[in-house]
Amino acid sequence: MRAVIQRVLKASVSVEGSVVGSIDKGLLVFLGVSGEDTQADIEWLTSKIHSLRVFEDAEGRMNDSLESIKGEVLVISQFTLFGNLRKGSRPSFNRAAPPEFGERMYEDFLNVLSGKLESRVASGQFGAMMHIDAQNWGPVTLVVDTQDKRF
């Protein structure tokens, strides 16, 4: 699994002009699933997001977590995070999970993350063309890959 995580003041996702998910301050997570991902990847990544300390404390240091600020999470499925440009300019997505497996892992990810957080977890719509609006806060953007934890 690969995630691009952004700290936001607010974010929303729309499908065909209707908002399907929105949050106030918290984290916007773009989630890519590969065909090699397992439940262990879900557990590791949701634990990382749960404990991620990217919000400023009273002294202005990044010490606070989602729970500390009562933040929310918006998770958007994004298979393009596994785009490969090794053979030219047109990306190949052969490392992205097949749709059925990707959707199941995405739903499992949402359920596990919701169980770990006291805050609300909103989501986009798997496989849909989505419009995402986000007001970045910082900006703070992190890239996390469960197969390369040193990333």
Integer angstrom CA distances of residue 28 from 58, 74, 100, 117, 134:
23, 5, 23, 15, 8
Active site positions, annotated: 78-80
Record the pTM: 0.95
Give me the mean pLDDT over the 12-24 stretch.
98
Instruction: Convert the pLDDT of each residue in 132-148 to its tens digit.
Output: 999 999 999 999 999 98
As a CATH number, domain 2-145 is: 3.50.80.10
pLDDT in tens, 97-138: 999 999 999 999 999 999 999 889 999 999 999 999 999 999
pLDDT band at 88 (very low <50, low <70, confident <90, very high): confident
User: Helix (H, G, I), strand (E, B), or coil: what is residue 38?
Assistant: coil
**Tens of pLDDT, residues 40-67:** 999 999 999 999 999 999 999 999 999 9
